[in-house]
């Protein structure tokens, strides 16, 4: 039997509600809170939508577990 490395990408989208004075400020606040600090204190997570997992590739591995290209 042959061993393969198979990459599966699973993603989701979060929808946040946040008060701001402008679209640019809302984007900046979300970047700061959610992306940089990984914090959700001042925004409300309104919805999360899971995406169907996608199989990206399958590559054969040798006996040492190294990729065969």
pLDDT tens, residue by residue, 23-32: 999 989 888 8
pLDDT tens, residue by residue, 35-67: 776 665 555 666 777 888 899 989 899 999 888
Radius of gyration of the chain (CA): 20
What SS3 class is residue 60?
strand
pLDDT for residue 21: 94
pLDDT for residue 61: 92
Would you state the torsion angle of the CA atoms of residues 21, 22, 24, 25, taken in this order, to the nearest 10 degrees?
A: 10
């Amino acid at each position: 039997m042959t061993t393969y490395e198979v990459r599966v990408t699973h993603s989701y989208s979060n929808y946040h509600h946040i008060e701001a004075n402008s679209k640019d400020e809302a984007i900046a606040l979300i970047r700061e809170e959610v992306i940089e600090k990984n914090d959700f204190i001042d925004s409300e997570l309104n919805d999360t939508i899971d995406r169907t997992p996608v199989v990206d590739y399958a590559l054969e591995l040798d006996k040492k577990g190294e990729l065969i290209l």
